[in-house]
Structure 1
Amino acid sequence: MNPTPTAPAPGAEPLAAAATPHLRPVAHFTARDTWLNDPNGLLHHAGVYHLFFQNNREGSTWGPMSWGHATSTDLVTWSEHEVAIPNTPEENVFSGSAVADVRNTAGFAGPGQTALVAVYTSAYTSASSRPGIQAQSLAYSLDDGRSWTRYADNPVLDTGSSDFRDPKVFWYGGDDGHWVMVAVQAVDRQVVVYSSTDLLHWAPESTFGPAHAVEGIWECPDLFPLAVPGTDDTKWVLVVSLNPGAVAGGSGTQYFLGDFDGSTFTADRLCDSTEPADHDWLDYGRDYYAAVSFNDAPDGRRLTIGWASNWDYANDTPTHPWRSAMSLVRELRLVRCPDGRLRVAQHPVLPQAPSAVRVFDLEVPSAPGDRTEVVLSSGDPDGGTLTIALDGDERTVTLDRTRCGAVDFHPAFPSVDAAPLIGGDGATTHLTIVVDGCIVEVYVDGGLATLTQQVFPHQPLTTLHLEPSPAR
């Protein structure tokens, strides 16, 4: 889940009320008229993609957490449903995952049924018998996710900790395999691994961390395999979100590559550097957090969604009555880069039919000596501009949102953020730029680096042009 964010700045709600409809994205999911944050329970079942999410059903800032629910058949067009797992006076429903228990290991399903099982963090309130404790609990659905019942003997895993959360559960092995849970001891910067044969009883297996970026607490882990290109091998990817202390400041999502034997994850590469830029990040922008992947996606695809915001200013962004959006769905694969290292590349799932989403594909000069700016604007001098600059000498791409409409609603929001140029032929860099309401996603050289940023232009960003960057 997440730490309690700072309170909204004075006057934040009147500013939000002045926002205009052009800021609501089309392909980036937003709640109808409430707050959302972390994606939860990502699952494909019976031809439907399920997106659950942290939701304050009482307002448009962070508050009592429930699991909201949306579904899609194409990963672009989402339908919001009633809250799936509501909070109670005794329990807030923090982040977690969902599985299809096709072997009926938990015994929830009757003949001819398949139980969908949500594994979530119970964050117990002062009104409960265990105030302040975070423990792992279950809810199940016997009607393909339309309604959910809490397990009568919750919680199923309670260590007595106040910072034990965000379980991601998946099946490891064949019919003789077992369930694996990765969760976090957040303030210890540790991923903890548990195993189970029935989802009801869990045994500790191993821990990983602290490692790499540890300035903030760790949250929302995920663990999954990806094929190594050109071989029959796989590598396991451990994803861990961090707040604060990310590469662009505030919230962010890092990853490790390594091996997993069903109980222990071992990283291929661990470095002692305290510089965030020396580690591996799923996104170099300010607005990509809590990224997790779908269980049981068809054809073995590894599909992820992140929360497109940052805890530094998430409560203050100028939209109304909704606040916050998800990222696009991204498909992940491994790529071997020119320096010989394997890295995760990400490819957006985009609308196949015409929509309000604007997608720009272009090649930009990036050889030594080249400095080029890609400028996105509304075509109106007062609408705001977003500048993406490529520096062939520094081998960086930067995104400047300091002149893009509303930027003064929070002091941490105006930013110029950078990602490395790590692919391509060195002479040019391929950019895919997706503009959808208040969200911009930039994919560099086939998604070897990405930058996701919120922007709040006074008018929609519709035009793009290139110009030489000013001399140093």
Structure 2
Amino acid sequence: MTAATATTADTFRPALHYAARNTWLNDPNGLIFHGGVYHLYYQNNPLDSVWGNMSWGHATSTDLLTWTEHPVAIACDEEEDIFSGSIVFDRDNTSGFGTGAAPPLVAVYTSAFKPGSAHGGLQAQSLAYSLDSGYTWTKHTANPVLNRGSAEFRDPKVIRYDGAAGSYWVMVAVEAQDFQVVLYRSDDLRDWEYLSTFGPANATGGVWECPDLFPLPLDGDPANLKWVLTVNLNPGGPNMGSAGQYFVGDFDGTTFASATTVTEGLQDPDRLGEYQWLDWGRDYYAAVSFSDAPDDRRLMIAWMNNWEYANQIPTTPWRSPMTLAREISLHTIHGRPRLVQRAAGDFAALPEAGPAFSLTDTAIANGTHILEGAAGSVQRIDITLTPGTAEEFGLVVRGDGARGTRIGIRPAEGTLLIDRRDSGDTDFHESFPSIDSAPVLATEATYDLTVYVDRCSVEVFAQGGQVTMTELIFPADTSTDVAVYATGGTATINRLEITQFG
């Protein structure tokens, strides 16, 4: 369970994000809302705080902000590691693992078979089922259920397709090193038939992993339904290392046809900025969405880390948090269908740790200016800014005087940036200190940012969530200043509101 307060020995443990109590975690798996509870399963090393012994950890929440950790759900053994996958509620008991009166939850996961096992060195898809709403699991005795004889076939996301082609289960998985998403269908989750392949396309700078496929109404119009295919890759992100991209198009029950592909085949390095990214920051990877979220919401969580330095981040005895859950929607922006994201969860119900801070219509002079009364380590910051003569302007969070994590706008370049070179502990890996950027344009001459600051992270939602950036930071627990700054001129704060969380 995430701690309410940090201790001296665990300065970086997040207050708003999930982290395991004392072990390693990475990719979220099997996200599902069932029985009034959000279930978060994840890649977990139950024996250590670095990658290895891959099993499925488990946590639950009713509000997407407060999480309770449970015992390991599906454990590795002498035959296999348990790699990423998904969970479906088999309402009609198509699998036969339950009964009509008590249908099962079914996990579809990648068996990474160990040397010496019957399928040593291969990755294939297997099943486990739960008859107690996801707390205990039994592996299917006839695993694996889908084997392509491949060492890089993994990360199955299973959905229920109901459309013109019929009603059946669809699996999207990857051939990781071929930059391909492969699709299969099944009536019973046990026997699978090949449908089609998508890719390579757009970003191919690293292996493809953790795909997802789901429908969303464009601009809120249920009569104009589009399909979104997400696929993560490592490395090859827009700011180096791990990242996630997406395509928008149509799915007819057999084939996904992208309407937003920029590059067919292997990527053009000069066009990286034209691809559609789930997040432009360094630390948003393996994002997948919940099955059966209430009110048909599309909710997504990602692993907040980067494989460049994942095993080295300075947290103990745990390593790696998850991002905030995000609700995503699809809108036409500058003539293209684009995902828009906002943080999910009932933040209004969280206890506030101090008085709110606000400013309106305030000029920012050249330099860095600490805001007295705004300090905090766990905050939501909402700010609207208007450019003046400054080349760059914005916020400094988790600061110690003028030093801290800089979140800025460069209007002439049309960029949003996060500069974490002075964010605290940065020397644990040579690639961690960085200035990372994303394209952003003013809306009616202003820039709107919502920033969630936690003890080891910042998540930035720009222009109402049209652009997001997520990055880890490791400041001293005494670095709590909030400042505004302008470089080479002035800017204006139209509105600034800061909420403090405990």
Asked whether the 8 Å contact 2:105–2:134 carries over to 1, the reply is: yes
1:431 corresponds to: 449
TM-superposed deviation, 1:373: 2.8
| Separation in 2, partners of 1:276, 1:269 | 14
1:313 corresponds to: 309
| Separation in 1, partners of 2:87, 2:100 | 21
Asked whether the 8 Å contact 2:157–2:173 carries over to 1, the reply is: yes
Of residues 96, 106, 114, the one that matches 1:117 is: 106
Structure 2 residue ranges without an equivalent (≥5): 1-6, 354-377, 490-502
SS at match of 2:27: strand
Of residues 351, 356, 362, the one that matches 1:354 is: 351
| Separation in 2, partners of 1:230, 1:49 | 25
What's the CA shift string for 1:285-308, capped at 9, x where partnerless? 000000000000010000000000
What's the CA shift string for 1:86-130, capped at 9, x where partnerless? 000110000000000001000111352120000000000013122
> Counterpart of 2:406 in structure 1: which amino acid?
T
What's the CA shift string for 1:179-221, capped at 9, x where partnerless? 0000000000000000000000000000000000001010000
Correspondence 1:156-235 to 2 at 5 A: 156-173=145-162, 177-229=167-219, 231=221, 232-235=223-226
Count of residues in correspondence between the two structures? 451
2:470 corresponds to: 452
Correspondence 1:455-466 to 2 at 5 A: 455-459=473-477, 462-466=480-484
| Structure showing the higher strand proportion among its residues | 2
2:256 is the alignment partner of 1:296: no
TM-superposed deviation, 1:422: 4.0
1:340 corresponds to: 335
1:55 corresponds to: 44
Asked whether the 8 Å contact 2:163–2:253 carries over to 1, the reply is: no
| Separation in 1, partners of 2:320, 2:184 | 32
| Separation in 1, partners of 2:441, 2:251 | 27
| Separation in 1, partners of 2:438, 2:352 | 28
2:92 is the alignment partner of 1:103: yes
Of residues 145, 149, 160, the one that matches 2:138 is: 149
| Separation in 2, partners of 1:463, 1:229 | 39
Asked whether the 8 Å contact 2:93–2:100 carries over to 1, the reply is: no
| Separation in 2, partners of 1:43, 1:25 | 23
Of residues 482, 486, 491, the one that matches 1:468 is: 486
TM-score, normalising length: structure 2 = 0.87
2:236 is the alignment partner of 1:241: no
Moved more, 346-355 or 302-311: 346-355
TM-superposed deviation, 1:21: 2.4
TM-superposed deviation, 1:368: 8.4
TM-score, normalising length: structure 1 = 0.92
Q: Kindly tell me: are residues 161 and 353 of structure 1, through their superposed partners in 2, closer, same or farther at Cα, counting changes over 3 Å?
A: same
TM-superposed deviation, 1:366: 4.0
2:266 is the alignment partner of 1:269: no
TM-superposed deviation, 1:131: 1.2
Q: Which runs of 4+ in 1 moved over 3 A?
A: 366-370, 460-463
Q: Kindly tell me: are residues 358 and 111 of structure 1, through their superposed partners in 2, closer, same or farther at Cα, counting changes over 3 Å?
A: same
| Separation in 2, partners of 1:150, 1:386 | 46
SS at match of 2:191: coil
SS at match of 1:299: helix
Q: Kindly tell me: are residues 224 and 334 of structure 1, through their superposed partners in 2, closer, same or farther at Cα, counting changes over 3 Å?
A: same
Correspondence 1:347-386 to 2 at 5 A: 347-350=342-345, 351=347, 352-354=349-351, 357-366=378-387, 371-378=392-399, 380-381=400-401, 384-386=403-405
Moved more, 234-243 or 271-280: 271-280
Asked whether the 8 Å contact 1:368–1:392 carries over to 2, the reply is: no
Asked whether the 8 Å contact 1:247–1:284 carries over to 2, the reply is: yes
SS at match of 2:11: helix
| Separation in 1, partners of 2:226, 2:387 | 31
TM-superposed deviation, 1:381: 4.0
TM-superposed deviation, 1:271: 1.6
Q: Identity percentage over the alignment?
A: 51
| Separation in 1, partners of 2:250, 2:332 | 17
Q: Kindly tell me: are residues 369 and 407 of structure 1, through their superposed partners in 2, closer, same or farther at Cα, counting changes over 3 Å?
A: closer
What's the CA shift string for 1:313-335, capped at 9, x where partnerless? 00000000000000000000012
| Separation in 1, partners of 2:308, 2:342 | 27
| Separation in 2, partners of 1:103, 1:121 | 24
Correspondence 1:401-412 to 2 at 5 A: 401-412=420-431
Of residues 421, 433, 452, the one that matches 1:414 is: 433
2:497 corresponds to: none
1:5 corresponds to: none
| Separation in 2, partners of 1:334, 1:446 | 13
> Counterpart of 1:373 in structure 2: which amino acid?
G
TM-superposed deviation, 1:174: 6.8
Correspondence 1:279-294 to 2 at 5 A: 279-294=275-290
TM-superposed deviation, 1:423: 6.0
Coordinate RMSD, CA, aligned = 1.9
Q: Kindly tell me: are residues 413 and 276 of structure 1, through their superposed partners in 2, closer, same or farther at Cα, counting changes over 3 Å?
A: same
1:387 corresponds to: 406
Q: Kindly tell me: are residues 366 and 154 of structure 1, through their superposed partners in 2, closer, same or farther at Cα, counting changes over 3 Å?
A: farther
Structure 1 residue ranges without an equivalent (≥5): 1-17
| Separation in 2, partners of 1:192, 1:368 | 51
Asked whether the 8 Å contact 1:66–1:87 carries over to 2, the reply is: yes
1:11 corresponds to: none
Asked whether the 8 Å contact 1:367–1:392 carries over to 2, the reply is: no
SS at match of 1:257: strand
TM-superposed deviation, 1:20: 4.1
What's the CA shift string for 1:265-287, capped at 9, x where partnerless? 00002223433211000100000
> Counterpart of 2:321 in structure 1: which amino acid?
A
TM-superposed deviation, 1:54: 0.1
